[in-house]
Structure 1
Amino acid sequence: MTLAEALLVVATGLGAGVLSSTVGVASLLSFPVLVALGLPPVVANVSNTLGLIPGGIGGVLGYREEVREAGPIARSIVIVCALGAVAGAALLLGLPPGVFEAVVPWLILFTCLLVGAQPRIARWLRARHDARHGEARAERRHMSPATTAFATVTGVYGGYFGAGAGVMMVAVLGLGTDLELRIVNGLKTLSLMVGNIVAGLIFVVVADPRWDVVVLLAAGSLVGGYVGARIGRKLPDAVFRWAVVAAGIVAAVLLF
């Protein structure tokens, strides 16, 4: 690897870390760059997953107050995303390349629609509940079985590839809980970190990452993850929501 390529990987890690902690589409930047540098797709995916682990750690440190406020939901996210990442990593290593290529872009676009429409959907569901039961619905501070199931599926996708997994988790938690968006953003960052750690541990044992790329990507992503969290905490809800939608649409278009 030349000096210019090494600097490019570090800069890519920095940018990916920022994207991970804000709109949740780090791989949208880092994966294409690694492929463009000549890494085979599976090797690029494995190296990318490992290299973004420090970015997730930096992001969670930046969101530590929000994660603490989430309470039991944060613990649930850790468990379901860890289990999902195991399944996702197994799918990546066991299935022919491109199995989900036709489905994933549509899935990301659908979750973008959910993120954008979430306030209206939440108001409609709350009004329907109040009319049916004659009383206001209690604030949802725990994950229902349905929310847990969808979060697990998102964890599986995160372990398999992950481009747009953050967008999906924002949609799941935004509809399935009554948490503030800043807390949802922290939990989204936590979910991506857990998925990368678990899948990365599996890849270290059974795959063949490019360790020079991993180290350079990690150095940039650690700083970028923390910086991105500081930015994400200050974003107004509307700006954050539409930034997530825009990032998800770009991810879907590129995956098409």
Structure 2
Amino acid sequence: MRLGDATLLVLGGVGGGLTGSMAGLASLVSYPALLAVGLPPVAANVTNTVALLSNTVGTAAGARPELRGHGRRLARLSAVAAIGGLAGAILLLATPSSAFERIVPVLVALGAALLLLRDELRRWAGHRTMPAPVLGGTIFLVGVYGGYFGAAAGVLMLAVLSVAATEPFPVTNAVKSIALGAANLAAAVLYAILAPVNWAAAALMAIGCLLGSWLGPTLVRRLPERPLRAAIAVAALALAAYLWWRADH
């Protein structure tokens, strides 16, 4: 591999780690970097999923204060998300990628809207909490999407958890990263066996992801919540528009 391509992959990993741990938009940076070094779309998709596993490790290390005391919750959410991630990986290997070209932008835009309207939705719900079966089913579906394609899956996970729980944003953001990491892990195991993972590219990108995701929680901890949440939503809407445009071309 050329030095320029290797550098691009590491830098793409740093960017993916930062955007993933802060906003759930890792693939917005990492996936194009893999395409830029010449990987075909399917290989780039599965390689991206494997590389982003280091995001979970970095976020867990950088967000220990936010994750403390949430062990049982993380175990429940991660188990459901992992089952969804495995189902999504099977779906990717069994169906053409065009099957979700139209629904993906809608899901990303929905996640952005949920983030923007989180406070209004909480006020509307009052003291009611999201029923466990509804939360579990929604997390499963986000896991399916994460295992299948994954672009902005973190935004969807963050949106669901933000509406479901009343807690500081950095806590929700950290929990999102761990649950989504479980979905990625389940999908990555299957991809490692059956899919065309480029292991050299995955390793280089994982190094960058580890660094970026370790720094991300520190930045989230220091930035004001409302502007950060709005910025994530705007970026997600931009991604939804791009994905919709790409589906037409």
Alignment TM class, shorter chain as reference:
over 0.9
Contact 2:78/2:180 (8 A) holds in 1: no
Percent identity at matched positions? 37
Contact 1:22/1:229 (8 A) holds in 2: yes
Contact 1:17/1:56 (8 A) holds in 2: no
Contact 1:51/1:215 (8 A) holds in 2: yes
Q: Which runs of 4+ in 1 moved over 4 A?
A: none
Amino acid in the other structure paired with 1:227: L
3-state SS in 2 of match to 1:7: helix
Contact 1:57/1:222 (8 A) holds in 2: yes
Deviates more, 1:42-51 or 1:235-244: 235-244
Query: 1:1-256 to 2 correspondence within 5 Å?
Result: 1-126=1-126, 137=127, 140=129, 144-256=132-244
Q: Identify unmatched segments of 5+ residues in structure 2.
A: 245-249
- Shift of the alpha carbon at 1:250? 2.1
For residues 195-244 of structure 1, what are the alpha-carbon distances to aligned partners after superposition, in whole Å with 9 as ceiling and x for unaligned?
Answer: 22111111111112111101110111111110112112222220221122
Instruction: Name which one, 1 or 2, has greater alpha-carbon Rg.
Output: 1
3-state SS in 1 of match to 2:117: helix
Deviates more, 1:163-172 or 1:173-182: 173-182
Amino acid in the other structure paired with 2:4: A
Amino acid in the other structure paired with 1:73: R
Separation (CA, whole Å) in 1 of partners of 2:168 and 2:243 = 30
- Shift of the alpha carbon at 1:143? 6.3
Amino acid in the other structure paired with 1:109: A
Separation (CA, whole Å) in 1 of partners of 2:143 and 2:234 = 22
Separation (CA, whole Å) in 2 of partners of 1:177 and 1:215 = 35
Task: Look up the match of 1:134.
Answer: none
3-state SS in 1 of match to 2:146: helix
Amino acid in the other structure paired with 1:67: L
Amino acid in the other structure paired with 2:138: F
- Shift of the alpha carbon at 1:124? 1.6
Contact 1:25/1:251 (8 A) holds in 2: no
State how many pairs are aligned.
244
For residues 78-108 of structure 1, what are the alpha-carbon distances to aligned partners after superposition, in whole Å with 9 as ceiling and x for unaligned?
Answer: 1111111000110111111221011110111
Task: Look up the match of 2:247.
Answer: none
Separation (CA, whole Å) in 2 of partners of 1:190 and 1:201 = 17
- Shift of the alpha carbon at 1:68? 2.3
TM-score w.r.t. the length of structure 1 is: 0.91
Separation (CA, whole Å) in 2 of partners of 1:7 and 1:200 = 23
Separation (CA, whole Å) in 2 of partners of 1:152 and 1:22 = 22
Superposition CA RMSD, Å: 1.5
TM-score w.r.t. the length of structure 2 is: 0.93
Separation (CA, whole Å) in 1 of partners of 2:44 and 2:71 = 35
- Shift of the alpha carbon at 1:76? 1.5
Deviates more, 1:66-75 or 1:54-63: 66-75
Separation (CA, whole Å) in 2 of partners of 1:29 and 1:44 = 12
Separation (CA, whole Å) in 2 of partners of 1:220 and 1:143 = 38
3-state SS in 2 of match to 1:87: helix
Separation (CA, whole Å) in 2 of partners of 1:197 and 1:252 = 25
Q: Identify unmatched segments of 5+ residues in structure 1.
A: 127-136
Separation (CA, whole Å) in 2 of partners of 1:69 and 1:239 = 27
Contact 1:70/1:183 (8 A) holds in 2: no
Separation (CA, whole Å) in 1 of partners of 2:198 and 2:57 = 21
